[in-house]
Amino acid sequence: MSETAISKILHDEGKMTHARYPVWENIIPFPPDGLLWSVGGSSLELFLVLGDAWAQLISRLCPEQATILDVGCGCGRTCRVLINNPRIRRYIGFDVIPENIDWCQNFLTAPWDGRAEFHHYDLYSREYNPNGAIQSSHFIFPCTDGEADVIFAASVFTHLLEPDAVHYLRETARCLSSRGRAILSIHSDVGPGENYKGTETRIDIRRDYFSALAVGAGLQQVDFIEDLGGQQIFVFRRA
């Protein structure tokens, strides 16, 4: 079997910190290498750089007293930076990898001082959770209608098959508040005549096709960023 993101996660990494750095008092530690890899972090430097970049983008769009929904929160790459944003009232993160959620609960819940919650869902993914019991096309985000002021999915649609992506776009539209923004990333390396290609290891989507899928799900594009960490970023509001 070829090596995947989950194959690099060691037993009990949800309770471990990075081997090369100590745990400093009152400072959020760094995740171990296996969990870094699960969110595309081939190095601790890349993990921190992308977490900071996403946090800056989210903070620019974040209103006062905001509820944030992090779709595929991983081991808190962006969450650890957002903790310093005073406009965030509530943070909700969920992920398919249980060790990531264990790590967030062990090392991020206390620093957020009761404002953050982390949920694991046993979602099927050939790449990340091949024995998962829940089909992504039936999954309901842990938010009520119109509750989330910022919804972001960093490198999530890059691993979703088209029916699952359409469902996630509909859930995004359902959960997004009237003042809210959704920040979603894709890969868009498709050939002539291709709209959607790949497996859950990597999905590429034609840009205008993704925008059309979002419109069909009840979203309206308000911005586009050509490159952030090698991915293309769409910003949507509720239509």
Q: Domain-by-domain residue ranges, the chain?
A: 6-238
Q: Which CATH architecture has domain 6-238?
A: 3-Layer(aba) Sandwich (3.40)
pLDDT at 6: 61
pLDDT at 27: 96
pLDDT in tens, the chain (239 residues): 344 556 578 879 999 999 999 999 999 999 999 999 989 878 999 999 999 999 999 999 999 999 999 999 999 999 999 999 999 999 999 999 999 999 999 999 999 999 999 999 999 988 888 899 999 999 999 999 999 999 999 999 999 999 999 999 999 999 999 999 999 999 999 999 999 999 999 999 999 999 999 999 999 999 999 999 999 999 999 99
Q: How far apart are CA 55 and CA 172, in angstroms?
A: 19
pLDDT at 32: 95
Distances in Å between the alpha carbon of 217 and those of 126, 170, 223, 237? 25, 5, 17, 11
pLDDT at 11: 78
Contact 187, 203 (CB under 8 A): yes
Contact 34, 8 (CB under 8 A): yes
CA 5 to chain CA mean position, Å: 15
Sequence-separated (6 or more) residues with CB below 8 Å from residue 217: 166, 169, 170, 172, 173
Contact 200, 126 (CB under 8 A): yes
Contact 222, 183 (CB under 8 A): no
Q: How far apart are CA 144 and CA 40, in angstroms?
A: 30
